[in-house]
Amino acid sequence: MNSVSGAPSGRVVSIDALRGFDMFWIIGGDAFFRALFQLINTPWALTLLDQLEHKEWHGFTFYDLIFPLFLFIVGAAMPFAISKRLQRGDNRRELYVHIMKRTLILFALGLVYGHILEFDFDRFRWAGVLQRISLCYFFAAVIFMNFRIKGQAIAAGSILVGYWAILTLVPVPGFGAGILTPEGNLASYIDQLFLPGRFCCFQFGDNEGILSTIPAIATTLLGGLAGHLLRSAMDQRQKLLGLIGAGIGSLVIALLWDLLFPINKLLWTSSYVLFAAGWSFLLLALFYWVIDMRRYQKWAFPFIIIGLNPITIYVAQSVFDFGSIARIFVGGFVDHTGVFQPVFWVACVFAVKWLFLYFLYRQKIFLKA
């Protein structure tokens, strides 16, 4: 399979596939493997099961990579969209309008995903995944519009160093400076002051809160640097080595920084940004090598289908009950699968979601925010 027939033109297949791999875990892959590992119930399976849960505070698991990987991919796609259009002389005002429009749509979809239409504002969560994606996209896009590659790299580095300085030097009333406990850190304090409604996913602040969104912009910018590398005039081997080098370098810096500024997803610490970015660079390198260099694409087709409509399925699964659709077709089998029932059921629900995306693909419907 040398190309993805029916996909929008001008897309990088390895980026679409990696985006689909990332979304796979969000739309059912995580539930499937949780059920599978619980069924196997051996020490190694339970160890893998732990990797499908977020760390409660400091530390890192595979599941802590899912969201930053998506933001990284958002950034990686920017050189193929924004930078390309700037270089060919497209109207800058129209580009800004496009950026603003996409930002507002994503933010609004995030509010809908959070059930704002229930009008229960006291218990409504104003922060969220799509809200953070929209803000990171907006600020990263503005930086892309106004700075060259070197300036974008400096912006990412400045954000990470600045966030480190703010969280470690600015005192929190009643706790002091540099306290990184759930109740004593500056990000939680800012959320308690300015973010209305309820928090997720810890008591004292929101894991997609106000202050912690700033370093997430750097995550997107680092993805942009990967995209610039893929779009450059280098040969494929140089691009691959560049991605691997960036990945290893990011991991080393992250582990050293972790000694002073712990890796923490809920706070989105600078060390966490670099640690997640390191794995993101390496995953992109792997997908690029297999798909674009070795031209092995058939295996990635299921991921590509997901990657072409990621926001669509993310929102759709909060609005529609795909389980009800699955039960129409397999309801008679579910109760007769014994100990395999949890695994069988989540696989069926995931299959319905994937077939929905495949229908959109066959109809050449690619919904963009």
Three-state SS for 264? strand
- What's the confidence (pLDDT) of residue 2? 43
Q: Is the dihedral of CA 24, 26, 31, 37 positive or negative?
A: positive
Q: In whole angstroms, give the CA distance from residue 16 to residue 77.
A: 9
Residue 356 belongs to a domain: yes
Give the domain extent around 96: 13-24+65-362
Residue 48 belongs to a domain: no
Residue 33 belongs to a domain: no
Instruction: Tell which residue, 114, 119, 126, has the closest CA to residue 198.
Output: 126
Residue 59 belongs to a domain: no
What is residue 125's DSSP assignment?
B
SS3 content of the chain, % helix, strand, coil (to 5): 70, 5, 30
Residue 237 belongs to a domain: yes
Per the CB < 8 A criterion, the answer to whether 128 and 113 are in contact is yes
Q: Is the per-residue pLDDT at 101 higher than 80?
A: yes
User: How many domains is the chain partitioned into structurally?
Assistant: 1
∠ CA 100-96-146, rounded to 5°: 120
Q: What is the pLDDT of residues 10-41, one digit of tens each?
A: 567 999 999 999 999 999 999 999 999 999 99
Residue 41 belongs to a domain: no
Going by C-beta distance under 8 Å and a sequence separation of 6 or more, which residues neighbour residue 41?
A: none
Mean pLDDT of 306-317: 93
Residue 60 belongs to a domain: no
Residue 42 belongs to a domain: no
Q: Is the per-residue pLDDT at 184 higher than 50?
A: yes
- What's the confidence (pLDDT) of residue 191? 94
Longest dimension (CA), the chain: 62
Per the CB < 8 A criterion, the answer to whether 188 and 174 are in contact is no
Q: In whole angstroms, give the CA distance from residue 13 to residue 308.
A: 10
* Model confidence, pTM: 0.92
In the block, tokens 């609005």 appear at 319
Band the pLDDT of 119: cuts 50, 70, 90: confident
